[in-house]
Amino acid sequence: MRTSYDVTIIGAGLAGLQCARLLARQGLSVLLVDRKNTLDQKVHTTGIFVRRTLVDFDLPEDSLGPPIKHVTLYSPAHRSLELVSQHDEFRIGRMGQLYQRYLQQCLHAGVDWLPQTSYLGHSIANGKLTLRLSSASITTRYLIGADGARSRVARDLKLELNREFIVGVENVFEGAVLDGPPRLLCFLDPKLAPGYIAWIAHDGEETHLGVGGYPSLFDPVTALQDFRSRVEDIIDVGKAKQIESRAGFIPVGGVLGNIANSTGLLIGDAAGAVSPLTAGGLDPCMRLSAFAASVVTEYLSTGDVQALQAYSGELFRSRFASRLWARRIAAGLRQPQLLELGCAVLRLPVFSRLANHVFFGRGSFPDVMDQPTLVCRQHS
């Protein structure tokens, strides 16, 4: 290991791994740091990838479960709305394996990997950026915070911090029995999942049972137990093997505005890059990290601080306006009767298109190459 790098990335979740391998492929020296010992431990995502990500990125086939086209949306009284896509819409990632595969690609591209190491802080003296890590001190030209929803790097760099969170918990099973094809089952219930949903994601091999909601409004562990007994008639996990429990905070306030300065920038959850409506963050991890890698490469090769101006959350926020409104509405819907009514409306053929759009629409995180600023930069 060296003592000086072009770029140091804190956090080897999907955002950090994606960014590290792209930067190293550009010939930069990259150090990737994570406090975890191995990346297949303490996974905190269900790992549902949407079609747009599956089409646009090179996710390893052997790290993905069978495709899913069916979604069932349940009202609080368990009245259901069935949605079926013509396409394979979702696949559940085998996330431990996927992280390991991406780590292998990082190492192959020349990234230095420092596991079991925490980022503790940084200092700048004589224009030199020094990072204090739990196992070493190193200097770096640029720092990237991929350290998750409650990012320490964001705080240290005086960038914007996530302020609105939901919390999700789930159990993962092998061998659960659910009749019919692989599918996602989403349950609207303000007690079990205030402001979000409870879910069963079943791809025929793996089954995830989870609840999410605003942490001040429920106890997620108790809610998950209640949910499990409420869905006994739908899914039988009695003889299934529980292989994991997962949990984590999800920032749902939309992508943050101020996410870069001349010392460092933020990607993934640290940048609030999560859909406020669906709480999906994996597609944003892939897209924003790719964008960050191109901006940082340009900045370090030219030394031109202007390059960083393109990396502003403000560019994306306007594209999230409707989803932020939908989040406000979801956060305020506390009456089961209101949700029941909303679900009854969605079952009307004319409105079921809206439900189809939410689940099967192709609008995840905006494609950065769609941004006018970037298109201009590319052509200039």
Ligand X SMILES: Cc1cc2nc3c(=O)[nH]c(=O)nc-3n(C[C@H](O)[C@H](O)[C@H](O)COP(=O)(O)OP(=O)(O)OC[C@H]3O[C@@H](n4cnc5c(N)ncnc54)[C@H](O)[C@@H]3O)c2cc1C
Instruction: Name the residue with tokens 């975890």.
Output: 36
Helix/strand/coil for 61: helix
Instruction: Name the residue with tokens 């053929």.
Output: 349
- What are the backbone dihedrals phi and psi of residue 272, each rounded to the nearest 5 degrees, phi first? 70, 20
DSSP code string of 7-23: EEEE--SHHHHHHHHHH
* 170 binds ligand X, rule: CB under 6 A: yes
* 246 binds ligand X, rule: CB under 6 A: yes
From residue 42, give the alpha-carbon distance in Å to each of 7, 95, 99, 245, 246.
Answer: 26, 10, 12, 8, 7
Mask: binding to ligand X, 193-232, rule CB under 6 A, as x and -?
A: -----------------x----------------------
CA-only gyration radius of the chain, Å? 21
Taking CB under 6 A as the binding criterion, the range among 24-32, 73-81, 147-155, 179-187 that sits at the site for ligand X is 147-155
**Least separation, in Å, of the C-beta of 167 and ligand X?**
7
- From the DSSP assignment, how many helices (H) and strands (E) are in the chain? 12, 16
From residue 72, give the alpha-carbon distance in Å to each of 64, 68, 84, 202.
Answer: 21, 12, 9, 12
Residue 115 and residue 111: Cα distance in Å, rounded?
A: 12
* 182 binds ligand X, rule: CB under 6 A: no
**Least separation, in Å, of the C-beta of 192 and ligand X?**
15
* 14 binds ligand X, rule: CB under 6 A: yes
Q: Which residue is nearest to ligand X (CB)?
A: 281
Which one of 22, 48, 54, 343 is in contact with ligand X (CB under 6 A)? Answer: 48
* 33 binds ligand X, rule: CB under 6 A: yes
* 266 binds ligand X, rule: CB under 6 A: no
Number of other CB atoms surrounding residue 123 within 10 Å: 11
**Least separation, in Å, of the C-beta of 12 and ligand X?**
5
Mask: binding to ligand X, 287-326, rule CB under 6 A, as x and -?
A: ----------------------------------------
| 207: its two tokens | 């089954």
Q: What residues between 80 and 109 interact with ligand X by CB under 6 A?
A: none
* 276 binds ligand X, rule: CB under 6 A: no
DSSP code string of 112-165: EEE-S--EEEEEEETTEEEEEESS-EEEEEEEEE---TT-HHHHHTT------E
* 16 binds ligand X, rule: CB under 6 A: yes
* 147 binds ligand X, rule: CB under 6 A: yes
* 188 binds ligand X, rule: CB under 6 A: no
The angle at the Cα of 58, spanning 174 to 115, to the nearest 5 degrees, equals 70
9/341 with CB nearer ligand X: 9
* 11 binds ligand X, rule: CB under 6 A: yes
Taking CB under 6 A as the binding criterion, the range among 19-27, 39-47, 214-222, 296-304 that sits at the site for ligand X is 39-47
**Binding residues for ligand X, per CB under 6 A?**
10-16, 33-36, 44-48, 118-119, 146-148, 152, 168, 170, 210, 246-248, 250, 268-269, 274, 279-283, 285
